[in-house]
């Protein structure tokens, strides 16, 4: 099950409020939920959950909605309408599309693949991930790499940040080497922004963090760490300011209006989901405000053929993932059939040993019986995996119940292993006389 809220359906202010629940859901196990991975980026909030067998999906969804609503301080009804629910193949395909950049404001962006990997790492650290969720996200990352390798998507390095910087250039033409930038934030998104600013040869970059982490951030990168006392002076001379923090401290119109900028134009780029800059900044003389909505509208459309190829890769990857999962579902049926057959086999071998003792004839009979059972089981095991891959495993298990009385829906009715001890040769045998199969027989088997 996945719960989706993104820029495609909602305004970013609502997405930001929903994203406030990401930390809570990343460290909390709800009833009926085996594991959870939360994806929270600048324009999406998504929850991927694996449910316990028999869990009520509607009740589980309601639990997620209540948790998000209480954290985001929103009515549950609004949260419920905002979150789109996807299950099974639809959820898998959506994640693969997101990881490949096909659901991004800038189609083919590369940053989202890294965010998907970090989401899995965060869940692993929190102890909320399951084996299947881990495999799902790892496959999503491999799919994203396949899209990058086999299409031109992302080849130009376009991202939310790069499109925003292009817009700033269009608004105020000129080389970046002569520009002064103030960057708000020290997180992963700020790091990606700083790297792009460096690639463009930006002349002077100041980094400000309300939490005081700017010095540690710039120590391993570049730029000047700004204190509260430095900030006003740098804002008075800046050409571009970029918000990437999403913190509680917001730059207001009054903060800029009272500065003596001498009529110098300023481009303010707000890339924070929860807004670093007040919308009123756009009313200050000489200030132009760009938001995530602005960037999304200006994002370039990639080549149609590349997108078509990418979607084909995503579709195939999702189908392969579903097929592999269904085939693993056949394991329980195969194990049950083997246990049932083994129980019958050991019972018959007991009779042979009781009648003939530990003789060469008894050994030959035992070997022949084991080999025959192995051959008889081969075709049913192959058919089980084929049925699972085709989505017809229920028909196979119904056949097991009809033919052998093996009911996989009930643990109590599942065949139990024969109550015998392993022989020195490593196979179940009788508790009485032991007739080990000879080395020649083992090799021929």
Catalytic residue set: 42
Query: Residue 330, Cα to own-chain centre: how many angstroms?
Result: 25
Query: What number of residues does the chain have?
Result: 445
Full 3-state SS string of the chain = CEEEEECCCCCHHHHHHHHCCHHHHHCCCCCCEEEEEEEEECCEEEEEEEECCCCCHHHHHHHHHHHHHHHHCCCHHHHHHHCEEECHHHHHHHHHHHHCCCCCCCCCCCHHHHHHHHHHHHHHHHCCCCHHHHHHHHHHHHHHHHHHHHCCCCCCCCCHHHHHHHHHHHHCCCCHHHCEEEEECCCHHHHHHHHHHHHCCCCEEEEECCCCCHHHHHHCCCCEEECHHHHHHHHHHCCEEEECCCCCCCECHHHHHCCCCCCCCEEEEECCCCCCECHHHHHCCCEEEEEHHHHHHHCCCCCHHHHHHHHHHHHHHHHHHHHHHHHHHHHHHHHHHHHHHHHHHHHHHHHHHHHHCCCHHHHHHHHHHHHHHHHHHHHHHHHHHHHHHCCCHHHHHHHHHHHHCCCCCCCCCCCCCCCCCECCCCCECCCCCCCCCCHHHHHHC
Torsional sign, CA 65, 69, 72, 78: positive
Token pair belonging to 27: 């460290």
Query: In degrees, to the nearest 5, what angle opens at C-alpha 97 toward C-alphas 93 and 98?
Result: 120
The 8 Å CB, 24+ separation contacts for 321-327 are 321/92, 321/136, 321/139, 322/88, 322/89, 322/92, 323/389, 325/132, 326/388, 326/389, 326/391, 326/393, 327/385, 327/388, 327/389
């Amino acid at each position: 099950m996945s719960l989706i809220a993104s820029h495609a359906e909602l305004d970013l202010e609502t997405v930001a409020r929903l994203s406030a629940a990401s930390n809570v859901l990343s460290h909390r196990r709800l009833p009926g939920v085996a594991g959870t991975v939360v994806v929270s980026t600048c324009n999406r909030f998504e929850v991927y959950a694996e449910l316990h067998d028999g869990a009520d999906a509607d009740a589980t969804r309601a639990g997620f909605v209540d948790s998000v609503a209480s954290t985001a301080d929103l009515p549950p009804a609004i949260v419920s309408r905002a979150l789109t629910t996807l299950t099974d193949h639809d959820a898998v395909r959506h994640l693969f599309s997101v990881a490949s950049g096909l659901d991004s404001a800038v189609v083919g962006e590369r940053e989202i693949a890294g965010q998907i990997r970090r989401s899995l790492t965060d869940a692993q650290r929190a102890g909320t991930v399951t084996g299947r969720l881990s495999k799902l996200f790892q496959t999503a990352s491999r799919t994203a790499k396949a899209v990058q390798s086999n299409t031109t998507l992302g080849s130009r390095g376009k991202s939310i940040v790069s499109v925003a910087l292009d817009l700033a250039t269009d608004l105020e033409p000129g080389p970046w080497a002569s520009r002064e930038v103030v960057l708000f934030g020290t997180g992963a998104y700020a790091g990606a922004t700083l790297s792009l600013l460096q690639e463009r040869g930006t002349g002077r970059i100041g980094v400000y963090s309300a939490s005081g982490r700017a010095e540690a951030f710039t120590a391993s990168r570049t730029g000047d760490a700004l204190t509260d006392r430095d900030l006003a002076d740098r804002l008075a001379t800046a050409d571009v300011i970029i918000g990437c923090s999403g913190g509680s401290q917001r730059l207001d119109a009054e903060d800029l209006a009272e500065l003596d900028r001498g009529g110098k134009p300023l481009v303010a780029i707000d890339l924070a989901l929860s807004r670093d800059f007040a919308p009123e900044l756009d009313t200050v003389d000489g200030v132009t405000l760009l938001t995530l909505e602005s960037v999304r509208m200006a994002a370039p459309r990639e080549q149609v053929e590349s997108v078509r190829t990418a979607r084909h890769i995503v579709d195939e990857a999702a189908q392969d993932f579903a097929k592999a999962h269904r085939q693993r579902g056949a394991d329980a049926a195969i194990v049950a059939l083997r246990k049932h057959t083994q129980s019958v086999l050991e019972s018959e071998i007991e009779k042979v040993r009781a009648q003939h003792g530990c003789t060469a004839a008894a050994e030959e009979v035992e070997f022949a019986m084991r080999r025959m059972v192995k051959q008889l089981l081969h075709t049913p095991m192959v058919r089980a995996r084929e049925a699972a891959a085709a989505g017809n495993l229920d028909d196979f298990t119904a056949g097991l119940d009809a033919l052998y009385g093996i009911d996989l829906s009930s643990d109590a009715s599942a065949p139990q292993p024969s109550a015998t001890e392993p022989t020195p040769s490593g196979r179940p045998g009788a508790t009485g006389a032991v007739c080990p199969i000879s080395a020649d027989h083992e090799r021929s088997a």
